[in-house]
Amino acid sequence: MNEITDKTKVLLYRGGKYYLNDTQATTIQEAIKQGGSYIEIEGDLIMINSVIGVISTSKYIEQEKIKRGEWQCKYGEWHERNQQCGHDGIHK
């Protein structure tokens, strides 16, 4: 089931990840730039030095696909590991 969400960013930290909306992402990015020690997300307190980054959800999904061994063909389609691309006939 696909649900509409406003979570367009992902905060990656050593303990896992949080999905953020644009307002949350901006607030956290500003806190990091100002050099604070902690940020609060959904009632949790996260040490700023444990933050790896704040990235778009599309970039996060792409990175996860690559970790699983998926690859993207020259036509922009994703394939599972060891799967051949059959898009030559489709994209001509």
In a domain, 24, yes or no: yes
- Residue 83: pLDDT over 80: yes
Share of the chain above pLDDT 70, in %: 92
pLDDT of residue 9: 96
One-letter identity of residue 16: G
In a domain, 4, yes or no: no
Q: pTM of this prediction?
A: 0.75
Position 85 in a domain: no
**Would residue 84 count as lying in a domain?**
no
Q: For the chain, what is the domain count? A: 1
Sheet holding 51-56, edge to edge: 16-20, 9-13, 51-56
pLDDT higher than threshold 60 for residue 92 = no
Residue 36 belongs to domain spanning? 9-79
- 3-state DSSP helix/strand/coil percent for the chain, to nearest 5? 30, 30, 40
3: in domain:
no
Whether 54 and 67 have beta carbons less than 8 Å apart is answered as no
Instruction: Identify the band that residue 24 occupies on the pLDDT scale cut at 50, 70 and 90.
Output: very high
Give the residue-averaged pLDDT of 4-9: 86
Whether the predicted pLDDT of 1 surpasses 80: no
- The verdict on residue 88 lying in a domain is no
Q: What is residue 20's predicted lDDT score, i.e. its pLDDT?
A: 95
Residue 90 within any structural domain of the chain: no
